[in-house]
């Protein structure tokens, strides 16, 4: 059955929004399991999208059928939805064929009555063996992720994984790449109902990944950066899993910071400016990265991922020569190296840090992994010999007061062209440094999430409390709850609380209500 939800105003406007609904024949055992159902939706989307390939009866948007095409990740999306009876709804777009401002009737009939039904027939699948393999792969990844904490791990990389990507624009596996092989000292076996997996386990605590340039250390971090997501079979990274609350942080010159307590890393600034409620429209590299770490921990991050190449050097470390030249009483920055172990000991936050030239972190690390020609080795013992003394924290970690957003400005139209920015009521939010945003649809969904938060923000609930409330609504009502339309578009992607918070924290119009309350309020 074909439904037309919105007809374009003219051939040059955004294409018409349509959806097709039909029975799939998928067994109920898969439909009753939310994980299997999500995997089945992903498989159906890719199958339907392949059926639309080449289905164009015009140029440009005219006469073109389009559906959201995902990357290798498997996640909840509004584009394809399965109900408990096995009936599927697929949302897509149709650019009605036209000449000038007149619709070409015969071509439109062929598009809607021939091309769409041809693609829709691919949705009747029953117990297809490739669908079963897709579901089993996703279930196995979820089981591996669930096995991390009992094993004392924060991440796992299965032997045989292909971590390098084909190119900067092709997110598929690199053909001919060296398969991952874990070092014996870090090799673990995780057991799941779908078979055992052998690979490198990254324990909770502080892990340093090092090695020469272009030997694969940043590629390992990039794979871990996506480890909270499931991947399609054959992606090469479907054996790489990380805790769900794994967050990549980096320096970001010029970003806005609103009311963040960065006093763990920066003392009072010149002129007596306090850092317990730091507020600026133009953060430096060190203040922006300090804020990013505090914001991530505020929203419940359990693992921080850092790369020396995208970090502020003066926040990372301060060597003996600089300490001799600039005394401590004239340097407000407490280097992260002195806090990194304390974060795990006092807050349960682990860190994975890629370094190439900052050797001070060898002393702080529980595990040091060296990458040589894409192969990892455990060099922890040698690192201990070179750097036996561990850095001492300057004092206890502060407990920041809760930040309570007001609704001001969290409203209006949402637009996103790519992963780098989303605009909310013409106020652009720069997401360039939020590296775990997947695509333009994900960016736009973050904008819709902020608009939705505007209806929850009252100046009394903290950021974590607002995110808890939003997560509960999305769990109960689905991603469609974020849609501004009665019938949602097929471009919503379930966002994590961490990316929502990252967008909120970079919104220059964010207003906070300052109130006296107990520090640590929230999640």
297-310 per-position pLDDT tens digit: 999 999 999 999 99
Residue 61 scores a pLDDT above 90: no
User: What pLDDT shows up at residue 60?
Assistant: 52
Structure confidence at residue 103 (pLDDT): 82
Q: Please tell me the distance from the alpha carbon of residue 345 to that of residue 354, in angstroms, as a whole number.
A: 21
The pLDDT value recorded for residue 327 is: 66
β-pairing, 206-211 vs 350-354, is: parallel
- Angle (CA) 24-28-34 rounded to 5° is 95
Of 14-18, 204-208, 266-270, give the range with the top mean pLDDT: 204-208
- Using a pLDDT cut of 70, give the percent of the chain over it: 94
Q: What is the mean pLDDT of residues 57-67?
A: 74
Mean pLDDT of the chain: 92
Nearest to 136 by CA among 40, 229, 23: 40
Average pLDDT over residues 273-291: 94
Return the pLDDT at 316.
94
Least confident interval from 56-65, 219-228, 240-249, 260-269: 56-65
Q: pLDDT-derived band of residue 521, with 50, 70 and 90 as boundaries? A: very low
What is the C-alpha to C-alpha distance for residues 298 and 521, in angstroms, rounded to an integer?
10
- Rounded Cα distance between 294 and 336, Å, is 12
Residues 284-288, mean pLDDT to the nearest whole number: 96
Looking at residue 95, the DSSP 8-state letter turns out to be -
Kindly state the DSSP code that residue 56 receives in the 8-state scheme.
B
Residue 14, φ and ψ in degrees, nearest 5: -55, 145
Give CA 175 to chain center in angstroms: 25
Q: How far apart are CA 267 and CA 403, in angstroms?
A: 20
**Neighbour-count burial for 316-333, b at 16+ CB within 10 Å, e otherwise:** bbbeeeeeeeeeeeebbb
Least confidently predicted of 55-69, 101-115, 167-181, 206-220: 55-69
Q: CA-CA distance, 285 to 264, in Å (whole number)?
A: 16
Of 170-184, 224-238, 383-397, minimum mean pLDDT range? 383-397
How many percent of the chain have pLDDT more than 90?
A: 80
Whole-angstrom distance, CA of residue 172 vs CA of residue 193 = 28
């Amino acid at each position: 059955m074909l439904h037309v939800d919105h007809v374009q105003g003219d051939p040059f406007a955004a294409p018409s929004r349509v959806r097709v609904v039909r029975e799939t024949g998928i067994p109920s055992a898969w439909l009753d399991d939310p994980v299997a159902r999500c995997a089945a939706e992903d498989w159906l989307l890719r199958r339907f999208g392949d059926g639309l390939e080449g289905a164009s009866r015009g140029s440009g948007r005219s006469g073109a059928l389009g559906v959201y095409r995902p990357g290798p990740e498997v996640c909840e999306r509004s584009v394809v939805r399965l109900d408990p009876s096995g009936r599927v709804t697929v949302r897509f777009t149709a650019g009605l064929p036209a000449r000038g401002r007149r619709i070409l009737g015969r071509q439109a009939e062929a598009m809607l009555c021939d091309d769409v039904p041809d693609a829709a027939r691919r949705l009747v699948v029953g117990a297809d063996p490739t669908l079963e393999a897709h579901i089993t792969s996703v279930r196995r990844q979820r089981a591996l992720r669930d096995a991390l904490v009992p094993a004392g791990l924060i991440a796992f990389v299965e032997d045989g994984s292909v971590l390098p990507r084909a190119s900067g624009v092709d997110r598929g596996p690199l053909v001919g790449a060296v398969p991952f092989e874990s070092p014996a000292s870090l090799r673990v076996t995780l057991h799941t109902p779908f078979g055992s997996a052998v690979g490198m386990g990254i324990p909770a605590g502080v892990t340093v990944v090092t090695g020469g340039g272009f030997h694969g250390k940043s590629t390992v971090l990039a794979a871990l950066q996506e480890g909270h997501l499931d991947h399609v079979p054959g992606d090469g990274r479907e054996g790489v899993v990380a805790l769900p609350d794994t967050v990549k942080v980096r320096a970001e010159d010029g970003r806005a910071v609103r009311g963040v307590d960065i006093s763990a890393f920066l003392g009072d600034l010149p002129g007596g400016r306090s850092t317990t409620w730091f507020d600026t429209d133009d953060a430096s590299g060190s203040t922006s990265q300090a804020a990013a770490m505090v914001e991530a921990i505020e929203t419940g991050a359990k693992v921080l991922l850092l790369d020396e190449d995208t970090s502020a050097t003066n926040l990372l470390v301060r060597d003996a020569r600089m300490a001799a030249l600039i005394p401590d009483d004239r340097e407000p920055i407490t280097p992260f190296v002195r806090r990194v172990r304390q974060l795990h000991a006092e807050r349960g936050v682990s860190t994975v840090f890629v370094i190439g030239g900052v050797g001070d972190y060898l002393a702080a690390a529980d595990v040091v992994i060296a990458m040589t020609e894409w192969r990892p080795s455990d060099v922890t013992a040698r690192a201990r010999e070179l750097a036996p003394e561990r850095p001492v924290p300057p004092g206890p970690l502060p407990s920041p007061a809760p930040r309570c957003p007001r609704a001001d400005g969290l409203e209006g139209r949402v637009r996103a062209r790519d992963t780098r920015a989303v605009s909310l009521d013409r106020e652009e939010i720069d997401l360039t440094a939020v590296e775990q945003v997947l695509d333009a649809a994900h960016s736009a969904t973050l904008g819709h999430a902020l608009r939705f938060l505007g209806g929850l923000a009252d100046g009394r609930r903290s950021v974590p409390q607002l995110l808890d409330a939003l997560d509960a609504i999305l769990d109960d009502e689905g991603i469609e709850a974020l849609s501004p339309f009665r019938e949602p578009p097929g471009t919503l992607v379930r966002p994590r609380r961490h990316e929502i918070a990252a967008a909120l924290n970079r919104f220059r119009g964010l207003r906070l209500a300052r109130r006296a309350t107990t520090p640590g309020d929230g999640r």
